[in-house]
Amino acid sequence: MASASVFQDEFCCSICLDLLTDPVTVPCGHSFCLKCITGCWDQADHKGVYSCPQCRATFTPRPVIRRSTLLADVVEKLKKTEVQSDHTALSNAGPDDVECDFCTGRKHKAIKSCLTCLVSFCEVHIQPHYEVPRLSKHKLVNASSRLQEKICSQHHKIIEVFCRTDQKLICMLCSMDDHNEHKTVSAIAERTNKKKKLLEMKSDNQMQIQQKEKEVEEVKGALKSLQASAQKADEDTERIFTELISFMEKKRSEAKESIRAQEKAEVSRAEGLLEQLELEIAKLKNRDAKMEQLQPVEDPIDFLQSFQSHLTSSSVAENFPMVTFKTTFSFSEVMKSVSPSLKEKTKEFHQAILKGRFIFFQNENVTGQ
């Protein structure tokens, strides 16, 4: 992109380095202030050869110079816009804005870019392009920092043609040279065509968006249902295990009470037998002692009297019954009474699992395999 200083040089006199005053154009095409070129050539009158101060082209005889109306109008507009820019509140260019290439010092925000000049202009400096007839023919676009991309790198012309064969943007010279046998249309026509396709693509894309949004809602619904099922399964699991634990604790307590009661009864019976046996042993020992005392008596009369007195025939004949007590005792009856209820409750618990009320139990089994 041309800089502001380069652009200004086109309207400045190369002799006085200021904006052109009464601009005139010499035969080589360069322009100067009337006063500046006249004074320069007046000094060369004695030589008879006159040269352009800028390109050094020589002329003989002294050329007749005429005022350039176009440049005079442009310079006049520029002078006015410079005065207006000092009194008009323009937007300063921000980080993301395109700067005006013609502003000096503080840069203002550009509103238009010229594809002919390859320069961007603010609201004030664009005015000559609206008011000067020749400048009004220039191609203006919205301010862009990518002006070079709109110019053909080969021919340095504005890109305004689209080659459908190669699917690329080209300039008019390209369409006559490398693309002369290709199918080409104006960029405007191709834009209209592509815009229709864009609308079709957008419609299709919106349908896909709607479909995906519908799928999102379905997944969200499934996720919500899954979470609700997981919550219910968790609650059912807690209740089942609580009931099972409570039932087992109750049965454990009942079994322990039954065992203690049966143990107490058997202990009481055993203690009664022990008391009975100890009494019988005492009687037997007492009789044995009497027989021990009687055994050494030699006197028949004494022996018979003592025997008759202490060891009667009834006492001798007395025999105590045989006492028996189980050396091992089984509480199988207690276990038999508990086992069926435990089995039944466990069966119910398994059925609850198989019905899916305890869904995570199966997951844990799978994980553990």
State yes or no: pLDDT of 184 exceeds 70. Answer: yes
Tell me which fold the domain 4-102+123-138 belongs to.
Answer: Herpes Virus-1 (3.30.40)
Nearest CA-CA partner of 64 in 75, 47, 50: 50
The region of weakest confidence among 18-32, 167-181, 226-240, 350-364 is: 350-364
The pLDDT tens digits for 145-162 are 887 888 888 888 888 899
The HSE-up count of residue 347 (CA atoms within 13 Å, CB side) is: 6
Sign of CA dihedral 252, 253, 257, 263: positive
Distance (Å) of CA 65 to CA 22, 76, 190, 349:
11, 20, 48, 116
What's the mean pLDDT in 308-336?
A: 62
Report how far residue 82's alpha carbon sits from residue 105's, in angstroms, rounded to the nearest whole number. Answer: 12
Pairing outcome for strands 168-171 and 119-121: unpaired
Could you tell me which residues come within 8 angstroms of residue 122 by beta carbon, excluding any fewer than 6 positions away?
85, 90, 100, 102, 103, 108, 109, 110, 111
Burial class for 261, CB neighbours closer than 10 Å (0-12, 13-18, 19+): exposed
| pLDDT (0 to 100) of residue 356 | 55
Confidence of residue 199 (pLDDT cuts 50, 70, 90): very high
For residue 254, what pLDDT is reported? 85
Q: Which amino acid is at 166?
A: D
**Does the pLDDT value for residue 17 go beyond 80?**
no
pLDDT tier at 165 (50, 70, 90 boundaries)?
Answer: very high
pLDDT at 82: 58
Instruction: Give pLDDT, residue 318.
Output: 56
Local confidence band at 287 (pLDDT 50, 70, 90 cut-offs):
confident
pTM passes above 0.95: no
pLDDT of residue 75: 78
* Range 52-81 average pLDDT: 81
**φ and ψ at 89, to 5 degrees?**
-80, 100
Listed ranges 41-50, 187-196, 232-241, 261-270; the one with the highest mean pLDDT: 187-196
Nearest C-alpha neighbor of 39 from the set 57, 60, 22: 22
User: What strands, in cross-sheet order, belong to the sheet with 159-163?
Assistant: 168-171, 159-163, 184-186
Given a cut of 90, is residue 192 above it in pLDDT? yes
